[in-house]
Amino acid sequence: MSNDSIDRSIIGLIQGDIPLESRPFESLAKELKMSEQEIVARLRTLQKNGIIRRWGAVLRHQKAGYVANAMVAWKVAPDRADEAGNIMARFSEVSHCYLREVPETFGYSLFAMVHAHSDEQLLELIIAISEKTGLSDYQVIRSLREFKKASMKYV
Amino acid sequence: MLNLQDIDRAILDDLQNDFPLSVQPYQEMAKKLDISEAEIFERIARMKASGLIRRIGGIIDSRNLGFYSTLCAVAVPEVRIDSVAAVINQLPGVTHNYLRDNTFNMWFTLTASSDIKAAETIRDMEGVLGLKIIAMPARKVYKIKVSFDMGSKNE
């Protein structure tokens, strides 16, 4: 196997749930006919290269007490996007913030995922963000049902 | 909110942000937290069973791996919601799909090997569904925070 295909196999296998065992990479190493040390070294390199963005536990935010969550899309002038995006990023309750290319039929290009412990808190938070950024035209887009949440299979 | 003890919070913080990439990571964590490895396993297993921990593994940055991904939205007539969701979910490149309270009521992320491939997939889907899909690729990232502070550090 080439280096690249080994890394691809590793990436494929670590996107699920690794076994809760004292040596969690043992079966992965066996499967790829490598030592556990070698797997760990490759994981470290993948993390250093930014291919693994983070390693560890993924939580369900609802169960972590963040029961009020929303995607908020803001209308922003192109020359004000960076300033507003950076202000939003400084809120600890904002987990993701992106500027997106959006069609005119939608028109709201600055996206922030916001998390709070109650609906009331969520509303206060959105108002605080609006005041700090000076952006007053926005849509609060809450999820009603989860149809799918999975890891991508990069092959 | 789940009833979590301080030690659970400390484990969650370490599991999310300080997971040691080593052959026996839980042994290292146990040592640091001054508890036994068996206790770590028992507590993690409990938090998995309760649904708080979705999984433990790697979070991949699809862009650094050379993939293209975009947020998409579509306005689906109420009566077609389930059947349209089924069509969209079945695509392997769709990792998230949610029903949301907006004129565009179905929002999903699509990952593909290139922007051209993604555009093709979207066109095919529009043909199958007879609905217009809007694609909103990220142009700038101001924040991606995938871990939740469980507050063990400031208690």
Domain boundaries, chain B: 6-49, 68-136
Domain boundaries, chain A: 3-48, 68-141
A130, A136 Cβ separation under 8 angstroms: yes
CA distances from A51 to B15, B63, B64, B66 (A): 19, 8, 5, 9
Residues 20-79 of B with CB under 8 A from A: 21-27, 37, 41, 44-45, 48, 50-62, 64-65, 67, 71, 73
Q: Mind listing the pLDDT tens digit for each residue in B106-151?
A: 999 999 999 999 999 999 999 999 999 999 999 999 999 877 777 6
pLDDT of A29 over the 90 cut: yes
What is the pTM assigned to this prediction? 0.83
Contact status of B1 with chain A (Cβ, < 8 Å): yes
Fold of A68-141: Alpha-Beta Plaits (3.30.70)
Q: With bands split at pLDDT 50, 70 and 90, how would you rate the model's confidence at A65?
A: confident
Distance, CA of B51 to CA of B17 (rounded, Å): 19
Q: Specify the DSSP class assigned to residue A21.
A: S
A97 to chain B nearest CA, in Å? 5
The CATH number of the structural domain formed by B68-136 is: 3.30.70.3460
Sequence-ordered list of residues with C-beta below 8 angstroms from that of A52, at least 6 positions apart, any chain = A11, A14, A43, A46, B58, B59, B60, B61
Amino acid identity of residue B44, one-letter, is: I
Distance in angstroms between the alpha carbons of the first and the last residue of chain A: 14
ipTM reported for the complex, 2 dp? 0.83
Beta strands in chain A (DSSP E): 52-59, 68-74, 94-100, 110-116, 138-141, 143-149
| CB-CB neighbours of A90 under 10 Å | 11
B35, B46 Cβ separation under 8 angstroms: no
Question: Which chain B residue shows the shortest CA-CA distance from A103?
Answer: B134
A122 to chain B nearest CA, in Å? 16
